[in-house]
Amino acid sequence: MSASVAAKIYPTRALQTNLREIKGLADENLVHITENGSAAYVFCSEEVLQRTVDQAVEDELYRLRLVDSVARGEADIAAGNVVVGIDAAFEEADRLAASHG
């Protein structure tokens, strides 16, 4: 599902007058239904729902990996596990590569 796709928004009364159109859109994207001008419902196909949930899970797992990476980096810095300069970084990379066979 593309983030650039504009959300389709319909009032609840459109479910009576434009149901075929709304169902067609709901086969591909989330369709927002308003009631008295306020957000009320989201309508979509099972496939769109599953894609939306899968994407939310993937996004959260990515966020957690980033948080973990930053925390490990901060812990390394606090413990003094750092190198300064490009030459030192290459030397450390060579040393690690040699120690892992």
Provide the β-strand partners of residue 35. 38
Could you tell me the pLDDT band of residue 1, with boundaries at 50, 70 and 90?
very low
CB of 40 closer than 8 Å to CB of 25: no
Q: Reduce the DSSP state of residue 9 to 3 states and report it.
A: strand
Tens digit of each residue's pLDDT (9 = 90 or more) over 26-76: 999 999 999 999 999 999 999 999 999 999 999 999 999 999 999 999 999
* Closest C-alpha among 43, 7, 3, 13 to residue 27: 43
Q: Reduce the DSSP state of residue 83 to 3 states and report it.
A: coil
CB atoms within 10 A of CB 31: 24
pLDDT of residue 2: 45
Could you tell me the pLDDT band of residue 5, with boundaries at 50, 70 and 90?
low
